[in-house]
Amino acid sequence: MDRKKELLIRAYFVLFCFVLYAFLIAFRVVNISVVEGEKWRKKGGQNVKWMQVEAERGNIFDRNGNLLATSLPFFEIRMDLLVPRKDVFINGIDSLSIRLANFFPKGKSASAWKSELVNKRKDGLNDKPGSRYHFIAKNLSYDQVQTLRKYPIFREGRSGGGFIVEKESRRQKPFKEMAARTIGVYDDKKGNKGLEKNFDKFLRGDSEQKLMKKIPPGFWVPVYEPSEIDNAKGDDIVTTLDVHFQDIVHEELLKRLNDFSAEKGCAILMEVSTGAIRAISNLERLKSGDYVERWNHAIATSSEPGSTLKLASALALLESNYADLHTKVDLQGGKKKFFDIWMHDSEPHGKREVTFKDAFILSSNVGMATLTARAFNKKDRREDFVNYYRKFGVTDKTGISIVGEPTPLVKDPIKDKHNWYATTIPWMSHGYEMMMTPLQILAFYNTVANKGRRMQPYLVSEVLRSGSEYKLFKPKTIIESIASSSSIDKVHQMLVETVTRGTGKQVRSSKVEIAGKTGTTKVGYGKDKDSKKYNASFAGYFPANKPKYSLIVIVYKPKGAYYGGVVAGPAFKRIAERVAAKEIDIQEFADLDHIAGMGYQPKNVSGYSRDFQELMAYLQLGFKKRTKSKWVNIDSEQDDIVMKNEKIKKSEVPDVRGMGLRDAIYVLENLGLQVQVNGYGIVHNQSIKPGIKNKGQEIEIFLH
């Protein structure tokens, strides 16, 4: 056989082998995919499959960008003990065990770690279940995971060291109880609540598919590390809440509840011109005596509003022209019988004939009921009375974006004829035989403050997608005008005078002018004659001359006192003053003539000279300066305002009573004293008497 023929035979043989192998491969592919396809697909699907995974939930912010709710990542570490090669495991197990013992000092010893991991690996090699998903630790932070990732064996990763990372997101509220019930609860098993529920479609985002594999005895783990996948993320929502105002409202409400051991309480601060809710607090008492947010009483709890709703009957009387501010009414000493039921004012006062305005300012139940009954308690006028309430928006929900708001219960003489009595209008005139939530009451006061324009209260201003504006929620006008400007001006005047000389005198402030109305509501009025339980409330707005915020404070079933002006009023006042202190534009609304007319002079105060001089100039108050010292004292015994030297010796504890917090801390700490602070406002007491030798000791100052 010649050389050429031999080469051709060999080439044909090689070609034949390639063709044969190709045919066998093609046959096997067809056989597996077509003939045995269903069997292998079923078997493969049991161990690796695509699974739906929720996106990371979006954040909830206040209007200044402070986090109110966020999803924080926590990690669980497990180990597939069959993955590491024998030499990798043997060479690294001692070091890994020592590192783990040091990393978890309250856990197992190094020898215990080694024994556990070695034995689990042996079990796995002997086909015992559990070794392929062995638990190491949980609730770890990202930084802790990154530290573990550098340890021997673990540093080989998932494929070389069996290092498995499971990620879990948990919902957290950085500010804890503050507005917790309004922000809501994220719990897919028990159901979401609050903003978490109402804006769930934005916060949840789009779910994604993730490739998961099954590890005996039945765990599903990601094929890829969580950090290697960019998880989808839900939208963020920006609320109208202001965490600084929320802190003020929460703290002042909590203080009043503690002072009176009340059952519960709520407070809402709303921006007048927009309806944006800036703060909302709901607290109720546990058996332990602690107060927590468990239910959104401000939005979802209805009760008889009591005297705060005298504002609605007063406005109806003015709009109907059945009464004016100077219309006379006989209070009959504070006790009068309407048909077969006696009505009483909150306390006997002996007054007889007064004006409509004075009856309102005194919060006389008898006076308001007499006028309202005279105007509307006739068969052909009863519907007119209720129609005024409809016109004012009192009968409607506010439309707030929180599930659970009930419709106000306001009787109708036609629809509710079986429950309508001859005494219904007299009792409705001062807020009984009807049910409203605190927010619904506040929405009405906000409307009066807004010169008759009713705004829809709202809690979310925008939705952010990938950090950019996606959806904007603008202020919404519900009713352009609920009453004539003349009637609005008159009830405004009545609300102002309620604070300056009526039942709301305890709310009067030299720092911000307040307009509002007290409410002292007997629980179960007309049902339980022996009931001694009351709800105390105060609703209003500030600054009265140019309203920016409306506010309501309700304290349910206080002990020891129950009048709205005494129990709820001081909280309203403190909130208004502290909010005003943070708002420059509110401070600019101050009526200097009004302040001067009150005979205001700073008394019993000390501080930095230049600050006082600027304040006096702003208030247009004359003063005499009799010292060049930078620390001065205002002499309260003079007819004129006199600045005198405030002596501060380095060797003695100074007298900081009368100083503001900033000045007091500056003086004390510069003298080497360690300062502890209690309260807000002006220093009124200190734990170490002035003149005691300064040894750099700890001093506690008390402000109010």
- 470-488: pLDDT as tens digits: 999 999 999 999 999 999 9
pLDDT value, residue 663: 78
- How is the beta sheet containing 623-625 ordered, strand by strand? 606-608, 631-635, 641-645, 623-625
pLDDT value, residue 179: 81
Question: Do 441 and 488 sit in the same domain of this protein?
Answer: yes
pLDDT value, residue 703: 76
Of 524, 553, 570, the residue that ends a domain is 570
pLDDT value, residue 625: 59
Q: How far apart are CA 481 and CA 494, in angstroms?
A: 19
Tokens of 295: 């239910």
Structurally, the chain folds into a number of domains equal to 4
Q: Is the pLDDT of residue 588 over 50?
A: no
- 224-279: pLDDT as tens digits: 655 444 456 789 999 999 999 999 999 999 999 999 999 999 999 999 999 999 99
Residue 342 pLDDT class (50, 70, 90 cuts): very high
Question: Do 545 and 649 sit in the same domain of this protein?
Answer: no
Mean pLDDT along residues 192-197: 80
DSSP bridge partners of 463: 237, 471
Which of these ranges, 12-26, 540-554, 568-582, has the smallest mean pLDDT? 12-26
Q: How far apart are CA 97 and CA 115, in angstroms?
A: 9
Is residue 503 in some structural domain? yes
Question: Do 37 and 82 sit in the same domain of this protein?
Answer: no
Q: Is the pLDDT of residue 42 over 60?
A: no
pLDDT value, residue 247: 93
Q: Is the pLDDT of residue 396 over 80?
A: yes
At 642, the amino acid letter reads V
- Average pLDDT score, the chain: 84
Is residue 578 in some structural domain? no
Residue 638 pLDDT class (50, 70, 90 cuts): very low
Is 406 in a helix, a strand, or coil?
Answer: coil
Question: Do 41 and 56 sit in the same domain of this protein?
Answer: no
pLDDT value, residue 501: 93
Residue 518 pLDDT class (50, 70, 90 cuts): very high
Residues 610 and 536: beta-carbon distance below 8 Å: no
Residue 598 pLDDT class (50, 70, 90 cuts): very low
pLDDT value, residue 371: 97
Residues 519 and 537: beta-carbon distance below 8 Å: yes
Is 267 in a helix, a strand, or coil?
Answer: strand
Q: How far apart are CA 427 and CA 344, in angstroms?
A: 11
pLDDT value, residue 109: 93
Question: Do 88 and 227 sit in the same domain of this protein?
Answer: yes
Mean pLDDT along residues 297-308: 95
Separate counts of helices (H) and strands (E) for the chain: 24, 31
| Main-chain phi, psi angles of 358, to 5 degrees | -70, -35
pLDDT value, residue 302: 95
Mean pLDDT along residues 161-172: 84
- Kindly state the helix (H) or strand (E) to which residue 264 belongs, with its residue range: strand 264-271
Which residue did the predictor score with more confidence, 223 or 4?
4
- 310-331: pLDDT as tens digits: 999 999 999 999 999 999 999 9
Is 646 in a helix, a strand, or coil?
Answer: coil
Q: How far apart are CA 197 and CA 456, in angstroms?
A: 20
- The model carries a pTM of 0.71
Residues 207 and 96: beta-carbon distance below 8 Å: no
Question: Do 186 and 267 sit in the same domain of this protein?
Answer: no
Q: For the residues of 171-219, what is the DSSP string, one character each?
A: EE-TTTTTTHHHH-B--TTT--BTHHHHTHHHHH---EEEEEEEETTTE
Mean pLDDT along residues 637-663: 70
Of 183, 206, 239, the residue that ends a domain is 239
Question: Do 255 and 378 sit in the same domain of this protein?
Answer: yes
- Kindly state the helix (H) or strand (E) to which residue 578 belongs, with its residue range: helix 569-582
Which residue did the predictor score with more confidence, 50 or 483?
483
- 412-429: pLDDT as tens digits: 999 998 999 999 999 999
Which residue did the predictor score with more confidence, 406 or 350?
406
Residue 532 pLDDT class (50, 70, 90 cuts): confident
Q: How far apart are CA 369 and CA 47, in angstroms?
A: 77
Question: Do 120 and 198 sit in the same domain of this protein?
Answer: yes
Is residue 438 in some structural domain? yes
Is 60 in a helix, a strand, or coil?
Answer: strand
- 54-81: pLDDT as tens digits: 678 889 999 988 889 888 888 889 898 8
Q: Is the pLDDT of residue 690 over 90?
A: no
Is residue 669 in some structural domain? yes
Q: How far, CA to CA in Å, does 501 sit from each of 28, 508, 543, 566, 574?
A: 99, 9, 17, 14, 19
Q: Is the pLDDT of residue 531 over 70?
A: no
Report the percentage of the chain scoring pLDDT > 70: 81
Q: Is the pLDDT of residue 209 over 80?
A: no
| Nearest alpha-carbon partner for 274 in 478, 94, 418, 419 | 478
Mean pLDDT along residues 496-514: 94
CA-CA-CA-CA dihedral for 301, 307, 310, 311, to nearest 10: -70
Question: Do 562 and 610 sit in the same domain of this protein?
Answer: no
Question: Do 475 and 605 sit in the same domain of this protein?
Answer: no
Which of these ranges, 55-59, 117-121, 335-339, has the smallest mean pLDDT? 55-59
Other C-beta atoms closer than 10 Å to the C-beta of 188 total 9
Mean pLDDT along residues 367-379: 95
Residue 641 gets which letter from DSSP? E
Is residue 590 in some structural domain? no
Q: How far, CA to CA in Å, does 216 sit from each of 127, 129, 130, 156, 211?
A: 10, 6, 7, 22, 17
Is residue 610 in some structural domain? yes
Helical segments of 46-194, H only: 86-103, 110-125, 142-148, 157-161, 180-183
pLDDT value, residue 216: 60
pLDDT value, residue 600: 40
Helix %, strand %, coil % for the chain, to 5?
40, 25, 35
Of 552, 570, 588, the residue that ends a domain is 570
Q: How far, CA to CA in Å, does 225 sit from each of 153, 222, 228, 230, 303?
A: 16, 7, 5, 11, 54
Residue 514 pLDDT class (50, 70, 90 cuts): very high
Question: Do 37 and 75 sit in the same domain of this protein?
Answer: no
Is residue 309 in some structural domain? yes
Question: Do 564 and 618 sit in the same domain of this protein?
Answer: no
| Nearest alpha-carbon partner for 75 in 168, 149, 171, 151 | 168
Q: For the residues of 448-469, what is the DSSP string, one character each?
A: HHTTTPEEPPBSEEEEEETTEE
Which of these ranges, 168-182, 358-372, 384-398, 530-544, has the smallest mean pLDDT? 168-182
| Main-chain phi, psi angles of 120, to 5 degrees | -65, -35
pLDDT value, residue 385: 96
Give the sign of the dihedral formed by CA 317, CA 320, CA 326, CA 327.
negative
Is residue 407 in some structural domain? yes
- Domain range for 681 is 601-703
Q: How far apart are CA 615 and CA 603, in angstroms?
A: 14
Mean pLDDT along residues 36-54: 61
